[in-house]
Amino acid sequence: LNEPLLGRRSSIYKYRGYIYPEFIANKTHQIHFFKTREDDVWIVSHPKAGTTWMEEIVYLITSDLDFKTAGEKTLEDRIPYFEFEYPGLQHIKNMPSKRIIKSHLPMSFLPNDIKKTKPKIVYVARNPKDTVVSYYHFHKMLKVITYSGTIDDFVDSFIDGKCIYSPWWNHVLEAWKQKDNENVFFVKYEDMKKDIKSVIREVSKFLGKSLSEKEIDQIAEYTQFDKMKNNPMSNYSWWKESGFKDGQTDFLRKGIVGDWKNELQQVHVHAIDKMVNEKLAGSGLVFEDSI
């Protein structure tokens, strides 16, 4: 598919009701038939939900607080991005257990094998206003995305379900419907911001680890926004040369709830509220957009 939609790469790929980056196009079969393992941990989200934050937390929990390796290897090398070109499915297939895998695919497009092997899945969701603002800035910083529109255009695309990994509402709802499955942990960015220690405690319980209060404190401290922003192993600075436009390095941009108030116009706030009311109605899924 090669049409000039807003907020996307040079080409995108439509598949089973979602919009994907073009690198998915030649590997849908491999994705469907990828062999998962019972002891995998998957971190799944719509982009800009706080995935990176959760990745660092899950890595530290799973590795029994291996700060040494965390400080030596980039997050992307420790936790591969499943559907991305690098390191690729073949590499992930050969990784030793215990694998931690990040994906932005919606639940319905994760490998079929997941239903059988039931690996643990941590799904992170964030209120749509902050998600769209964060996503807009992300589009502005990536070389590979030739996006020249305004934030107004971008919000329209998001509401129309035309951004990459859109529609957002289906993405979060699919996960929300599975939130009571034993192998699924659904967490909101806003709750992470409100009380990260509780979230770390719950995630560790979900992953079958019991952490001391001291260990929880250590993880909370290591994953503070400013610490991660300045940590070359978590802040995507390894993308600086190849991936980011000149002068753009802030993958960890603001890290707050409510930045949309500085960026969105009333008309867009209303449009997003309308989208939420229509699409999430009756689901029980609600987001706080200020805390």
Q: What positions carry a catalytic annotation?
A: 104
Residue 228 in contact with ligand A3P, rule: CB under 6 A: yes
DSSP codes of every residue in 31-99: HHTPPP-TT-EEEEESTTSSHHHHHHHHHHHHTTS-HHHHHHS-HHHHS-BTTSSSS-HHHHHHPPSSP
Question: What angle do the packed helices 196-206 and 213-222 form, to 10 degrees?
Answer: 110
Residue 21 in contact with ligand A3P, rule: CB under 6 A: no
Residue 253 in contact with ligand A3P, rule: CB under 6 A: yes
3-state secondary structure 138-181: HHHHECCCCCCCCHHHHHHHHHCCCCCCCCHHHHHHHHHHCCCC
Among 12, 34, 44, 48, binds ligand A3P (CB under 6 A): 48
Going across the sheet that includes 100-103, the strands are 100-103, 41-45, 120-125, 184-188
Return d(Cα 279, Cα 128) in angstroms, integer.
Answer: 12
Among 225, 239, 243, 288, binds ligand A3P (CB under 6 A): 225
Residue 243 in contact with ligand A3P, rule: CB under 6 A: no
Residue 252 in contact with ligand A3P, rule: CB under 6 A: yes
Among 41, 43, 44, 49, binds ligand A3P (CB under 6 A): 49
Nearer to ligand A3P, 113 or 191 (CB): 191
Return d(Cα 247, Cα 177) in angstroms, integer.
Answer: 41
x/- mask, ligand A3P, residues 129-168, rule CB under 6 A, reads: -x---x--x-------------------------------
Nearer to ligand A3P, 52 or 157 (CB): 52
x/- mask, ligand A3P, residues 205-224, rule CB under 6 A, reads: ------------------x-
Identify whether the C-beta of residue 191 lies closer than 8 Å to the C-beta of residue 122. Answer: no
Among 220, 254, 271, 280, binds ligand A3P (CB under 6 A): 254
Return d(Cα 262, Cα 106) in angstroms, integer.
Answer: 29
At closest approach, how far in Å is the CB of 286 from ligand A3P?
Answer: 20
Nearer to ligand A3P, 116 or 245 (CB): 245
Residues that bind ligand A3P (CB under 6 A): 45, 47-53, 130, 134, 137, 223, 225, 228, 252-255, 259
